[in-house]
Amino acid sequence: MKVLKIATVALLLVAGGCKEKKKAEKGTIIPIISLIKDQVAHIDTSLYTIMKITRIDSVRNDTAYIERSQFRQAANDFLSLPDISMPEFYGRYKEEDTYDETLGRVVFTYTAKNPDQEEVQKEELLVKPDPPNDKVTSLIITTVRITKDSLIEKKLLWSMDQSFQVTTTKQYPSKPETISTFNVVWNEKEY
End-to-end CA distance of the chain: 70
Q: How far apart are CA 149 and CA 180, in angstroms?
A: 18
Asked if residue 141 lies in contact with residue 156, where contact means CB atoms within 8 angstroms, the answer is yes
H helix and E strand count, the chain: 4, 9
143 and 167, same structural domain?
Answer: yes
9 and 56, same structural domain?
Answer: no
Q: How far apart are CA 52 and CA 183, in angstroms?
A: 6
Is 91 a domain residue? yes
133 and 174, same structural domain?
Answer: yes
Looking at residue 107, its pLDDT comes to: 97
7 and 64, same structural domain?
Answer: no
Looking at residue 27, its pLDDT comes to: 56
Looking at residue 60, its pLDDT comes to: 64
38 and 20, same structural domain?
Answer: no
Asked if residue 149 lies in contact with residue 125, where contact means CB atoms within 8 angstroms, the answer is no
Is 43 a domain residue? yes
Is 65 a domain residue? yes
77 and 170, same structural domain?
Answer: yes
Question: In one letter, which amino acid is 11?
Answer: L
pTM check: above 0.85:
no
Range of the domain at 17: 1-27
108 and 90, same structural domain?
Answer: yes
Total domains in the fold of the chain: 2
136 and 69, same structural domain?
Answer: yes
20 and 57, same structural domain?
Answer: no
71 and 17, same structural domain?
Answer: no
Asked if residue 139 lies in contact with residue 83, where contact means CB atoms within 8 angstroms, the answer is no
Is 191 a domain residue? no
Is 174 a domain residue? yes
Burial class (CB in 10 A: 0-12, 13-18, 19+), 110: buried
pLDDT in tens, the chain (191 residues): 333 332 322 333 333 333 333 333 455 889 999 999 999 999 999 999 999 999 988 776 888 999 999 999 999 999 999 999 999 999 999 999 999 999 999 999 999 999 999 999 999 999 999 989 999 999 999 999 998 889 999 999 999 999 999 999 999 998 899 999 999 999 866 43
123 and 64, same structural domain?
Answer: yes
7 and 55, same structural domain?
Answer: no
Looking at residue 24, its pLDDT comes to: 34
Is 190 a domain residue? no
Looking at residue 18, its pLDDT comes to: 37
Q: CB within 8 A of 11, min separation 6: which ones?
A: none
